[in-house]
Amino acid sequence: MTDPLSTAQLYLDGITVSFDGFKALNALSLVIEPGELRTIIGPNGAGKTTMMDVITGKTRPDSGTAMFEGRHDLTRLDEPTIANLGIGRKFQKPTVFENLTVEENLELALKDDRRIRHTLFRRLDEEQEAKLERVLAQVGLMRRRTELAGLLSHGQKQWLEIGMLLVHDPRLILLDEPVAGMTDAETAATADLITRLARDRTIVVVEHDMVFVRSLGAKVTVLHEGSVLAEGSIDAVQNHPRVIEVYLGR
């Protein structure tokens, strides 16, 4: 076996985070391989969001290692730096910029020089325009590009957010409950979108909706009380006795 530190896309080892004595993450270890699509499930308070916070630099762990591509120590970097490394995160609550148009949202998210001088004096070049168009088509928002993002439906906002990740060319995408609040049709379209995107990217999806998790057909990790309870295919974990116990209670 090769050293996970050097080959894994994301390597978490022994991550512990406590808030006022409550351990949100308890020695959590997780390895995501390049190109993998992984779903993470777990009851409320299992530490799913805290885990995302650690990976994106929002929360500093009390102890443990978090490495991106074996080179970048995520516990020492701040949020913009981590985002620019190529880790994109979609939040649970869709937060698009409601007073900007769909295309302006994507423009801000484009991978580009983030310095003030650049944002003041440069316009998008042809290549960037082309990428913007490609992503608009990918997430199905081409016809609404000049509308204010605040006017989109809930599902469309979620797709716009995914689009905002895509224009940034992330190598690792974290999706926090991407189908929460979506209609069945929107959920199916989102599953389709994610499977297509997973062909050339590493994606981690946190989700409650078991139908959706099943439709992704990916390896599943179950979190419980801040650490990994089980890992494997959806069928394997659903039949895992500890998982049943945690989810159904005694």
Partner 1 sequence: MMRRTPLLTGSGWLVFLAAMLVAAVLIPVLATLPPPDSMFRLPAYLVPLFGKYLCYAILALALDLIWGYAGILSLGHGAFFALGGYAMGMYLMRQIGTRGVYGDPILPDFMVFLNWRELPFAWWGFHNFAYAAFMALAVPGALAALFGWFAFRSRVTGVYLSIITQAMTYALLLAFFRNDMGFGGNNGLTDFKEILGYEVQAPSTRLGLYVITAVALGLSFLVCRFVVTTRFGRLLLALRDAESRVRFIGYSTTGAKLFVFVLSALLCGLAGALYVPQVGIINPSEFQPGNSIEVAIWVAVGGRGTLVGAILGALVVNFVKTWLTGAAPELWLFALGALFIVVTLAMPNGILGLVAQAKQWRRTPTAPVAETVHD
Q: Are 165 and 88 in contact (CB under 8 A)?
A: yes
User: What string of DSSP letters covers 112-159?
Assistant: S--SHHHHHH----HHHHHHHHHHHHHTT-GGGTTSBGGGS-HHHHHH
1 belongs to the binding site for partner 1 (CB under 8 A): no
Q: Which residue among 37, 74, 109, 175 contacts partner 1 (CB under 8 A)? A: 109
Q: Which of 33-41, 122-130, 201-209, 232-240 is the region at the interface with partner 1 (rule: CB under 8 A)?
A: 122-130
Going from the C-alpha of 86 to that of each of 26, 152, 201, 203, the distances in angstroms are 26, 27, 11, 12
- Tokens 């512990």 label which residue? 16
* Closest CB 97 distance from partner 1, rounded Å: 4
Evaluated on CA atoms 212, 214, 220, 221, the torsion sign reads positive
119 belongs to the binding site for partner 1 (CB under 8 A): yes
Q: Which residue among 1, 19, 22, 116 contacts partner 1 (CB under 8 A)? A: 116
Q: By C-alpha distance, which of 170, 240, 226 is closest to 202?
A: 170
Report the site for partner 1 in 174-233 (rule: CB under 8 A): none
164 belongs to the binding site for partner 1 (CB under 8 A): yes
Report the site for partner 1 in 55-74 (rule: CB under 8 A): 56
Q: Which of 65-73, 114-122, 152-160, 215-223 is the region at the interface with partner 1 (rule: CB under 8 A)?
A: 114-122
* Closest CB 13 distance from partner 1, rounded Å: 24
Written as six digits, the tokens of 114 are 């983030």
Site string for partner 1, 126-145 (x = CB under 8 A): ---x--x-------------
* Closest CB 190 distance from partner 1, rounded Å: 20
Sorted by sequence, the CB contacts under 8 Å of residue 29 that are 6+ apart come out as 12, 13, 14, 15, 227, 228
Neighbours of 127 (CB within 10 A): 8
Q: Which residue among 148, 180, 188, 210 contacts partner 1 (CB under 8 A)? A: 148
Q: By C-alpha distance, which of 238, 198, 232 is closest to 216?
A: 198
In whole angstroms, what is the distance from residue 221 CA to residue 225 CA? 13
Report the site for partner 1 in 79-98 (rule: CB under 8 A): 79-80, 83-84, 89, 91, 95, 97-98
Residues binding partner 1 (CB under 8 A)? 56, 79-80, 83-84, 89, 91, 95, 97-101, 103-104, 107-109, 114-116, 119-124, 129, 132, 146, 148, 150, 164, 168
